Amino acid sequence: MRLCFHQCGKPHDVLSLEAYNVLGLKKHEVLVQMLYAPINPADLNFIEGTYGKLPLLPAVPGNEGCGRVIGIGDAVTSLTIDDLVIPLYPIGTWSQHMVATENKLAKLPSNLDPVQAAMLRVNPTTAWQLLHEFRELKPGDIIAQNAANSGVGQAVIQIAKHLGISTINFVRRKELIAELSALGGDLVVMDDADGHTTARKFVKNRSLKLALNGVGGDSALRLMDLLSADGALVTYGAMSRRSLKVPNKHLIFKNLEIRGYWLSKWTEKASHQEMQAMVQRLAAMMLEGKLVLPIDRIIPMSDYREAVTLSQSDGRKGKIIIKI
């Protein structure tokens, strides 16, 4: 069985559970029995037809997930039966079985929690890239981010801590302050004028070269104000649905670099070896308990309508996971 949609629209309305047949494997193909798959905002946008890439209908959603190899083609050399794997590309994970060429999969340690592994490709990968692609950071450096309670934000906090980098984290709910501080956030404040003032005092005369924006609007302005001269503001989301406005003074006097990041674009260009190496680093952090991704609820695939509805609700404690 697999979840499929034949037209774009509200996920609750257009998704359906359908039977399908798995054809014979080609020589470099692998058959994976999927175990778990999270529901990400990009998955919902893909179903709605509002994502950066339109689906080729009918389509199976699912940007990431985790499964075990149960069949291999004659020429497969990198994987064996029972290997724990994740797809390196968004190839439709909301399905009991998935066929992919071996170079589209990454093998993980067999004792890694498959639920955590299912969430490894999107948010931790994005967080890793945000911390490595735009500025050369070293232990003792400091960065700032809004949307700190998002999946990316929480991964940024943990990866930055692992790398010896301090984080300033803006949130929109007071109850998140203690939670993200316990996770390793060096400063967690409300995303408002008072929080901004506290953040400025925390930075003092130190250089702040990188700020990560997942909100937009006034929140992004506060990040730009914190940045040092020649710093970079990297936008990877727009939760406020408000456009990014850049004051002239930040361009003229601070020479800020305004960049965007979309994981799909990086995936198109990155080599298989590069992606594998990063996944292994993140998996090692998971095994050591240094990277733990929050889960709100695990729901059977048969209850997919409940799953997609809950994934769009406010106040969740983490991801909604589909148990395939």
CATH code assigned at 255: 3.40.50.720
| Pair (130, 260) in one structural domain | yes
CATH code assigned at 10: 3.90.180.10
| Pair (113, 146) in one structural domain | no
3-state secondary structure of 204: coil
Contact 288, 266 (CB under 8 A): no
**Does 83 or 264 have the greater pLDDT score?**
83
| Residue 279 located in a structural domain | no
Q: Which of 264, 299, 321 is nearest to 40 (CA)?
A: 321
| Pair (257, 146) in one structural domain | yes
Extract the tokens encoding 133. Answer: 């692609």
Give the residue numbers spanning the domain of 209: 126-264
User: Hunting for tokens 């890793």 — which residue is that?
Assistant: 128
Average pLDDT in the chain: 95
- Look at the pTM and tell me if it is higher than 0.75: yes
| Pair (241, 137) in one structural domain | yes
What confidence tens digit (pLDDT) does each residue in 262-306 have?
A: 998 999 899 989 999 999 999 999 999 999 999 999 999 999 999
| Whether the predicted pLDDT of 70 surpasses 80 | yes
Angstrom distances, CA of residue 180 to CA of 206, 218, 307: 23, 22, 25
pLDDT at 48: 96
3-state secondary structure of 98: strand
| Residue 286 located in a structural domain | no
Q: Given 226, 246, 264, which residue is the final one in a domain?
A: 264
- What is the set of active-site residues? 51
pLDDT at 314: 80
What confidence tens digit (pLDDT) does each residue in 50-65 have?
A: 988 899 999 999 999 9
| Residue 34 located in a structural domain | yes
Counting other chains too, the contacts that 24-29 makes at CB distance below 8 Å and 24 or more residues apart are: 25/71, 25/72, 25/73, 25/99, 26/73, 26/101, 27/73, 27/74, 27/75, 27/76, 28/73, 28/75, 28/76, 28/101, 28/102, 28/103, 29/72, 29/73, 29/76, 29/99, 29/100, 29/101, 29/102
Element (H, E) at 177: helix 176-183
pLDDT at 243: 76
| Pair (252, 216) in one structural domain | yes
Count the domains in the chain: 2
Angstrom distances, CA of residue 282 to CA of 112, 187, 261, 305: 11, 24, 19, 31
Our measurement of the distance from residue 287's CA atom to the centroid of its chain's CA atoms, rounded to an integer in Å, reads 18
| Whether the predicted pLDDT of 240 surpasses 70 | no
What confidence tens digit (pLDDT) does each residue in 125-168 have?
A: 999 999 999 999 999 999 999 999 999 999 999 999 999 999 99
| Whether the predicted pLDDT of 108 surpasses 90 | yes
In the chain, what percentage of residues exceed pLDDT 70? 99
| Pair (115, 139) in one structural domain | no
Q: If you average pLDDT over residues 58-76, what whole number do you get?
A: 97
| Residue 204 located in a structural domain | yes
Q: Looking at the chain, which runs of residues are DSSP E strands? A: 2-5, 15-18, 29-38, 66-72, 84-87, 97-101, 105-108, 142-145, 166-171, 187-190, 208-213, 232-235, 257-260, 295-300, 319-323
Q: If you average pLDDT over residues 9-37, what whole number do you get?
A: 95
